Amino acid sequence: MANFSAQVFQNEYLAEGSTDANAVVSVTCTDAGMAGAGATGEAAEVIIVDTSGSMEMPVAKINAARRAAKVAISEIVDGTWFAVVSGHSVAQMVYPTQPGLAQMNDERRAAAIEAVGRLSSGGATAIGAWINAATELFSFRPHAQAHAILLTDGRIEGEPEGTLEAALRRAEGKFQCDCRGIGADWEVAELRGIADALLGSVDIVADPDDLADDFGEMMRRSMGRGVSDVRLRVWAPQGSEVLFVRQVAPTVEDLSAKALQEGPLIRSYPTGAWGDESRDYHISVRVPPAPVGQERLAARVELVVDGNVVAKGLIRALWSTDVQRTTRIDPAVAHYTGQTDLADRIQRGLAAKAAGDTDAATVLLGEAAKLAHQSGNENTTRLLAKVVDVVDADAGTVRLKKNIDKADEMALDTRSTKTTRIRREPQP
């Protein structure tokens, strides 16, 4: 049986008249079990493989897609409902052949792998249509824990503007979707938009040879999410304003816009399915100030599964005249504020660069280099070093590189949201 725990990191002391309570709530799930093994008892997977004409250029891409889809299929556990879809100008069933979901067993696994081997390419990239197809397929098992993998190598061409947005509105809350871009001709913002809306990840697979491992890993992780549909519920007092609710580890995802008003003082936010993992949330609440010495609950944060509270954390506000107490910033809050700023500077810096504003790009990416260096985010530091020459990391002085590999820039962009965890105990 899954076990959730929540731990709150904050400095509860506020100076007289101050209003903003900030806390990091660290949630850990253990003994999650396997997808489809929970109370609802069903899991569903849809694999969407881009088979547009560009997948043949080079042919390594479609070959890699075939191999990756096979690996993913082989990771789907027996009893899971599944389908494989080929995406080009329309979405086309690969397995099963008629629109619907098949229940996994040895025979169907072999048949699906065989069908994937026959995938051929041609046509345009109509991702909105592919998402719509997945939504329809999952509607065959409406109570299943639903997850899709979407692979593309290009940006949307060949469907009317607004099709994807409409598709996402229909799909939201019905399934989660991990997105992968192969090569360097796809649009980071497009896939990020899909992943954000559908509570999934986004990443670049620059080398087609890496795709199969990545697909296998994604499918294993999905199969290991034994708790479906976990909601983060936040109570905040009368007269308060929830400034933001943001996942900050393992990646930065702002959940604020996903709030569902459950009552006058209660909002809830979808967090999707959980496996054995930890996620950290930065929550900021503006509360009416109380007199010195008084304490107010700034927020009650609950993890809710099937209507049951499985973990709870309290964010407190305590007004004090003790300057030593009120001026301290909690290390977790400080760390994740920095990591959020880091992602922001990278994304804005790359956008400025794309718009031809070299000065702004240099300043923003310089700030990013400084933040990455200070927080010990080595992955991001390494990715940044492929886009800028770091002159002085402490000062945040950088120069844009002359010849940047497009894929390196896209990797920096997609992975900008990956955060490092704060080290809570000194390492021995």
Partner 1 sequence: MTEPAVVADASRCASCGEALIPGDQFCEACGAITSDGAAAGMPMEGIAQQAPTSGAGRQLPPNGGASGGVGGVCASCGAGVVDGYCVSCGVKARTARDHWSELPAAWLGGVCDRGLVHARNEDAMALAATADETLGVLVVCDGVTSAPESDRASLAAARAACQSLLSAGLTVPSGTSAAAIAGWAAELTAAAAAGNAEAVGVARILGNPPEPPSCTFVAAVVARPDGQHDDQALISVGWCGDSRAYWVPDDGEPIQLGRDHSLGTEMIDAGVAVAKAEADPTSHTITRWLGADSVNATPDLVSLQVATSGWLAVVSDGMWNYASSPAEFAAVVRDSIAGDDPVAIAQAMVAVANGHGGHDNITVALARLDFPTPTN
User: Which residues sit at the interface with partner 1, rule CB under 8 A?
Assistant: 1-7, 38-39, 227, 236-240, 265, 287-288, 290-298, 300, 305-306, 308-314, 316, 318, 320-321
First to last CA, the chain: 33
Spacing of C-alpha 271 from chain mean position? 10
Please report how close the Cβ of residue 315 comes to partner 1 at its closest, in angstroms. Answer: 10
User: 295 with 316: CB under 8 angstroms?
Assistant: yes
Please report how close the Cβ of residue 33 comes to partner 1 at its closest, in angstroms. Answer: 9
DSSP 8-state assignment for residue 189: H
Please report how close the Cβ of residue 291 comes to partner 1 at its closest, in angstroms. Answer: 7
Question: b/e string for 313-350 if b means 16 or more Cβ within 10 A?
Answer: bbbbbbbbeeeeebeeebebbbbbbbbbebbbbbbbbb
Q: Which is nearer to partner 1, 1 or 426 (CB)?
A: 1
Q: Which is nearer to partner 1, 1 or 428 (CB)?
A: 1
Q: Which is nearer to partner 1, 113 or 314 (CB)?
A: 314
Q: Torsions phi, psi of 398, nearest 5?
A: -135, 165
Q: Torsions phi, psi of 208, nearest 5?
A: -55, -30
Q: Which is nearer to partner 1, 127 or 318 (CB)?
A: 318
Q: Which is nearer to partner 1, 38 or 87 (CB)?
A: 38
Please report how close the Cβ of residue 320 comes to partner 1 at its closest, in angstroms. Answer: 7
Please report how close the Cβ of residue 196 comes to partner 1 at its closest, in angstroms. Answer: 27
Please report how close the Cβ of residue 19 comes to partner 1 at its closest, in angstroms. Answer: 13
CA proximity to 173, closest of 140, 201, 135, 141: 135
How far apart CA 381 and CA 383 sit, in angstroms, is 6
Q: Which is nearer to partner 1, 142 or 288 (CB)?
A: 288
User: 311 with 25: CB under 8 angstroms?
Assistant: no
The region that residue 41 occupies, defined by phi over 0 for left and psi between -120 and 50 for alpha, beta otherwise, is left
Q: Which is nearer to partner 1, 184 or 265 (CB)?
A: 265
DSSP 8-state assignment for residue 411: H
Please report how close the Cβ of residue 12 comes to partner 1 at its closest, in angstroms. Answer: 9
And the tokens for 349? 């810096």
With tokens 């010495």, the residue in question is: 293
Please report how close the Cβ of residue 265 comes to partner 1 at its closest, in angstroms. Answer: 7
Q: Which is nearer to partner 1, 240 or 247 (CB)?
A: 240
User: 137 with 85: CB under 8 angstroms?
Assistant: yes
CA proximity to 221, closest of 282, 176, 181: 176
How far apart CA 243 and CA 340 sit, in angstroms, is 15
